[in-house]
């Protein structure tokens, strides 16, 4: 090889090495440099801080992942009840998470225990907080049946620990989900070193509680302003100090990816999609929808060799037959059954048919308005914003200003506990010239069906004391209006609506519940069936499970094969 070729080879090697080094340098620094400005992200000197190492949302306690998709929502059997309320329509739901099982007695007792410790019922009005959260155990009573054993034992006895909680209203279920959100995020932040170890047990009181929204919006007001719990001197968090002497990364923000989305009740569309599972959506025509149960097949008994003849859910098999003949063809339960007693569906969800029916988030209407929206369908949006005081700070509820809701039966339920940010309806500051929403309360948006859309003012006399949103609803749904008020001594005065001109039970306070229960025949096991019940009342056959929205990618499988 002559000198010229050697020289050229050396130049080529040098260029190759330079390009390799440049590529490596670019690759190693691009993650922490802004594509918008070129500035460093997460610089020790300060500036924009962001979690560039975030992979995907962690599955929160009790939940399983449900990959979203398109499905046929609605009726797949003959409508023998003539409800005409579940006409098939095609919907799409985003990926989300849902509780593997129904919320159990033990899970709910943990909630009651926390309330009792933080808000001792012997102090002031705190007794009303615990009483408002207690399940109604009297739902088990029957005029011609003996049920005192369930009244006394079902909620608290260890023998029923893993049975689904009942006697819980829709409102109580929502408050449980809110409480659960705060406890899970509190634990996440403690594990990450943002909160002092065991503070959630030893430093919490009525005036010092953790709330997720408060921590995000005004972290110094978390725990009632007790900053010793979040002070880096008392936590395991190593904060950074800039050259100017300022500390950064003291508090966790949404940008850290540590704070979980909220637990909530699933929407009706989510619940039905999750109950159907995946299998028959792929083997049957999704536009027609032919899946009758959460499992594959057209029968309630197993066709598998080892379990042939066994019932696949807990439901009423016939008149006087709540469990089958003892020792033979028995479904293993007469009332509710322990969760996970039957096989899960294809998503890994247990008891999506039978055991207890379940509350979902939606306000009930006879129609699902897929003409206006076929993506993440949900009726019941009431948009609020943080209340702001005269100093421009958010208003945080104190132990003295706990917000109670008076139910139709006179019972009080705490809707805003201490530590939470007070909410007010959105106004024209948020709605002015918007095209996607124009008011706070959207329950009655495009409301009603043809048979119910007449104005009842044309047929019955105008009622006194009915105004605003209620008037809009009652133009279509002439439901009974029981009235309750307190006299000067605080005694409840109950007035029953005994009118014989009522034509409907539908109003803005009835919610959808889905799935059959231990009290229902197999007709109601169909995930498409939908019924409604007042949101402030409870029964011995309706329970609930929680859901959570998915952030980021639609699928957990990064390299999923596309067909």
Report the C-alpha gap between 414 and 51 in whole angstroms: 36
Same domain for 64 and 103? yes
Same domain for 518 and 499? no
Instruction: Report pTM.
Output: 0.88
Give the pLDDT of residue 28: 45
Task: Tell me if 153 is assigned to some domain.
Answer: yes
Give the pLDDT of residue 26: 46
Would you call 101 exposed, middle or buried from its count of C-beta atoms within 10 A (0-12, 13-18, 19+)? buried
Same domain for 273 and 368? yes
Report the C-alpha gap between 448 and 301 in whole angstroms: 39
According to DSSP, the residues that pair with 46 across neighbouring strands are 43
Give the pLDDT of residue 81: 82
Task: Tell me if 123 is assigned to some domain.
Answer: yes
Q: Looking at 507, 523, 541, which one is the last position of a domain?
A: 507
Highest averaged pLDDT of the listed ranges 89-103, 323-337, 463-477, 502-516: 89-103
Q: pLDDT tens digits, residue range 121-139?
A: 998 889 999 999 999 999 9
Give the pLDDT of residue 462: 46
Q: How confident is the model at residue 461 (pLDDT cuts 50, 70, 90)?
A: very low
Same domain for 265 and 130? yes
Same domain for 547 and 474? no
Same domain for 465 and 546? no
Task: Tell me if 391 is assigned to some domain.
Answer: no
Residue 13 pLDDT greater than 80, yes or no: no
Task: Tell me if 350 is assigned to some domain.
Answer: yes
Residue 562 pLDDT greater than 80, yes or no: no
CB 275 within 8 A of CB 352: yes
Average the pLDDT over each of 12-26, 127-141, 241-255 and give the range with the smallest value. 12-26
Average the pLDDT over each of 28-37, 247-256, 540-549 and give the range with the smallest value. 28-37
Among the listed residues 351, 320, 357, the one whose alpha carbon sits nearest the alpha carbon of residue 517: 357
Report the C-alpha gap between 405 and 131 in whole angstroms: 13
Q: How confident is the model at residue 307 (pLDDT cuts 50, 70, 90)?
A: low
Residue 222 pLDDT greater than 80, yes or no: yes
Give the pLDDT of residue 279: 56
For residues 553, 558, 559 and 563, what is the CA-based torsion angle, rounded to 10 degrees? -30
Q: pLDDT tens digits, residue range 146-203?
A: 999 999 999 999 999 999 999 999 999 999 999 999 999 999 999 999 999 999 999 9
Give the pLDDT of residue 460: 45
pLDDT mean over 367-376 = 92
Q: How many CA atoms lie within 13 A of 317 on its CB side?
A: 19
Same domain for 357 and 318? yes
Q: pLDDT tens digits, residue range 444-454?
A: 888 755 444 45
Task: Tell me if 293 is assigned to some domain.
Answer: yes
Q: How confident is the model at residue 6 (pLDDT cuts 50, 70, 90)?
A: low
What angle is formed at CA 34 by the lines to CA 30 and CA 35, rounded to 5 degrees? 85
**What CATH number does residue 134 fall under?**
3.90.1580.10
How do beta strands 69-73 and 530-534 pair?
Answer: unpaired
Domain that holds residue 98: 59-171+260-376+514-552
Task: Tell me if 181 is assigned to some domain.
Answer: no
Share of the chain above pLDDT 70, in %: 82
Give the pLDDT of residue 290: 59
Same domain for 534 and 466? no
Task: Tell me if 208 is assigned to some domain.
Answer: no
CB 337 within 8 A of CB 355: yes
Give the pLDDT of residue 68: 93
CB 434 within 8 A of CB 420: no
Same domain for 363 and 487? no
Residue 313 pLDDT greater than 90, yes or no: no
Tokens read off for 502: 């009522």
Which bin fits 42, alpha (ψ -120 to 50), beta or left (φ > 0)? left
Average the pLDDT over each of 306-310, 412-416, 478-482 and give the range with the smallest value. 306-310
Q: Which residue has the higher pLDDT, 307 or 503?
A: 503
Q: Which residue has the higher pLDDT, 27 or 193?
A: 193
According to DSSP, the residues that pair with 328 across neighbouring strands are 325
Return the H-helix or E-strand segment holding 69.
strand 69-73
Same domain for 267 and 329? yes
Q: Angle between the 126-133 and 105-118 helix axes, to the nearest 10 degrees?
A: 180
Residue 414 pLDDT greater than 60, yes or no: yes
According to DSSP, the residues that pair with 405 across neighbouring strands are 413
Task: Tell me if 302 is assigned to some domain.
Answer: yes
Average the pLDDT over each of 207-216, 330-339, 535-544 and give the range with the smallest value. 330-339
Question: What's the structural domain count of the chain?
Answer: 2
Same domain for 89 and 107? yes
Give the pLDDT of residue 501: 81
Residue 520 pLDDT greater than 70, yes or no: yes
Same domain for 85 and 166? yes
- The single-letter DSSP state of residue 524 is G
19's CB contacts (< 8 A; 6+ apart) are: none
Average pLDDT of the chain, as a whole number: 85
Q: Looking at 488, 507, 526, which one is the last position of a domain?
A: 507
Residue 219 pLDDT greater than 80, yes or no: yes
CB 546 within 8 A of CB 263: yes
């Amino acid at each position: 090889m002559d000198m010229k070729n050697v020289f050229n080879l050396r130049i080529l090697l040098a260029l190759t090495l330079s390009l390799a080094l440049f590529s490596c340098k670019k690759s190693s620094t691009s993650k922490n440099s802004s594509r918008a400005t070129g500035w460093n992200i997460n610089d020790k000197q300060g500036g924009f801080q962001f979690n560039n190492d975030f992979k995907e949302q962690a599955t929160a306690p009790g939940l399983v992942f449900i990959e979203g998709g398109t499905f046929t929502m609605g009726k797949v059997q003959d409508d023998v009840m003539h409800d005409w309320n579940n006409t098939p329509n095609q919907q799409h739901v985003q990926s989300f998470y849902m509780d593997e099982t129904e919320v159990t007695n033990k899970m709910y007792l943990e909630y009651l225990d926390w309330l009792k410790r933080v808000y001792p019922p012997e102090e002031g009005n705190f007794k009303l907080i615990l009483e408002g959260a207690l399940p109604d155990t009297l739902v088990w009573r029957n005029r011609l049946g003996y049920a005192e054993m369930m009244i006394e034992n079902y909620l608290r006895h260890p023998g029923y620990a893993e049975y689904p909680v009942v006697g819980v209203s829709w409102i109580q279920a929502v408050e449980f989900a809110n409480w659960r959100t705060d406890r899970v995020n509190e634990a996440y932040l403690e594990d990450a070193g943002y909160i002092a170890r065991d503070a959630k047990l030893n430093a919490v009181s009525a005036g010092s509680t953790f709330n997720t929204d408060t921590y995000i919006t005004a972290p110094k007001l978390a725990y009632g302003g007790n900053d010793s719990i979040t002070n880096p001197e008392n936590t395991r968090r190593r904060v950074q100090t800039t050259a100017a002497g300022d500390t950064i990364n003291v508090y966790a923000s949404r940008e850290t990816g540590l704070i979980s989305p909220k637990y909530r009740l699933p929407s009706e569309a989510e619940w039905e999609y999750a109950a159907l599972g995946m299998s028959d959506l792929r083997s049957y025509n999704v536009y027609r929808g032919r899946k009758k149960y959460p499992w594959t097949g057209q029968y309630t008994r197993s066709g598998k060799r080892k379990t042939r003849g066994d019932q696949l859910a807990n439901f009423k098999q016939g008149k006087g037959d709540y469990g089958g003949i003892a020792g033979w063809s028995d479904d293993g339960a007469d009332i509710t059954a322990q969760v996970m007693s039957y096989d899960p569906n294809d998503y890994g969800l247990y008891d999506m048919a039978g055991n207890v029916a379940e509350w979902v988030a939606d306000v009930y209407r006879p129609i699902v308005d897929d003409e206006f929206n076929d993506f993440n369908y949900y009726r019941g949006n009431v948009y609020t914003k943080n209340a702001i005081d005269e100093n421009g700070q958010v208003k945080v509820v104190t132990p003295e200003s706990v917000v109670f809701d008076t139910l139709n039966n006179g019972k009080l339920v705490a809707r805003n506990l201490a530590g939470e940010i007070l909410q007010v309806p959105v106004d024209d500051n948020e709605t002015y010239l918007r095209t996607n929403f124009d008011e706070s309360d959207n329950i009655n948006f495009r409301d009603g069906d043809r048979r119910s859309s007449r104005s009842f003012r044309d047929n019955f006399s105008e009622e006194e004391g009915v105004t605003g949103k209620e008037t809009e609803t009652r133009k279509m749904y002439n439901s009974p209006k029981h009235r309750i008020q307190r006299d000067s001594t605080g005694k409840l005065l109950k007035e029953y609506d005994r009118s014989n001109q009522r034509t409907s039970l539908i109003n803005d306070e009835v919610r959808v519940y889905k799935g059959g229960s231990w009290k229902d025949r197999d007709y109601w096991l169909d995930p498409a069936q939908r019924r409604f019940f007042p949101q402030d009342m409870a029964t011995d056959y309706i329970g609930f499970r929680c859901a959570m929205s998915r952030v980021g990618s639609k699928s957990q499988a990064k390299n999923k094969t596309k067909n």
